[in-house]
Structure 1
């Protein structure tokens, strides 16, 4: 059974008289499986550690893309060099790009399981968790800074019968604070 979720990566724009909250930079990702807090928070922690070590954090769009890439990369291994009925030959990375090498695969996870969403559309309505990852407003050359996360309660927001475009505004949050504290509070064995 899948645990679907939506993650919003947000970078706040400093408010002036001419700007409003809608000027915030936002990238939203749909994750079809493993959307429960233990999995998502571990993945976010790993992502942050990688971006901090490489100084590659560049705002919501890049961070969301890297989140999806790492998540997909983690499932490719299920299809490499194992059962010939279920795998692809990974002798050359380019083999992954040839459709004829994957004809025997039925909907491989590394090609599915994620979507880049329009934040204005809200959510599909069958998600179980929502997340907001707030990235600091800073230059890529600054020292890494803390990420703040919000984790919804399990299905604690409008779903099929509600105004899903407002789900993030109406959600009940079980956690709101630094990513490292979320990991401590919501994950049995932090990474």
Structure 2
């Protein structure tokens, strides 16, 4: 916020990293599902909340990988506290649902493991207004450099295969399932 309490551009940025299945087809489908859910529930509150919801829903969708029905474990999806008991994760080398996503500080750069960059722009609006279109930019495959320092210039230098409304991104990049 600036000295007058107005949001600055930095207040409108949430930079995420998704380690597994960060390909445009998957990310765009997840974004469309998230937008549909946020629109239906009128729960969109800006980039930070949308980013947190994106991570939560991605993690929630993979939790079944750790609830495999082994009778020797007490993990029960109906008892979320069971998921917090480390003894229920002893069979895992690393519980990937605790990893795989990160919130990055745009001032620190891009760590270099990404194959694609995606930019999702949410409109600045009152959360109780009618839903509005999200704008999405999707980079070409590995069309950017590892970047140390603030990411503004990295995103300016990237080559973009698409830049437009989310619904058109889905049409242009993602082939609808048959």
Specify if TM > 0.5.
yes
Report deviation, 1:86: 9.0
SS at match of 1:82: coil
Q: Does 1:185 align with 2:175?
A: no
Question: C-alpha deviations, 1:111-157, integer Å up to 9, x for none?
Answer: 11000110111210121000110001100110010000000000001
Q: Give the CA deviation at 1:90.
A: 2.9
Instruction: Give the equivalent residue in structure 2 for 1:145.
Output: 132
- Unaligned 5+ segments in structure 2 are none
Give the match's secondary structure for 2:14: strand
2:156 paired with 1:156: no
Q: Which moved more, 1:95-104 or 1:68-77?
A: 95-104
Partner residue of 1:50?
37
Matched-pair contact (CA < 8 Å) for 1:87–1:105: no
Rounded to whole Å, the distance in 2 between the matches of 1:49 and 1:187 is 17
8 Å CA contact retained: 1:79, 1:87: no
**How many angstroms apart in 2 are the aligned matches of 1:34 and 1:115?**
14
Task: From the superposition, tell whether residues 82 and 62 of structure 1 become closer, same or farther in structure 2 (CA, over 3 Å).
Answer: same
1:173 is aligned to 2:160: yes
TM-score (norm 1): 0.81
* Equivalence for 1:128: 115
CA distance 1:155–1:92, change in 2 (3 Å): same
Q: Quick check: 1:63 aligned with 2:50?
A: yes
1:81 and 1:89 in contact (8 A); partners too: no
Superposition pairs of residues 11-90 of structure 1, within 5 angstroms: 22-23=9-10, 25-83=12-70, 88-90=75-77
Structure 1 contact 31–115 (Cα < 8 Å) conserved: yes
TM-score (norm 2): 0.87
Separation in 2 of the partners of 1:20 and 1:104?
46
Gaps of 5+ in 1: 1-12, 14-18
Q: How many residues align?
A: 172
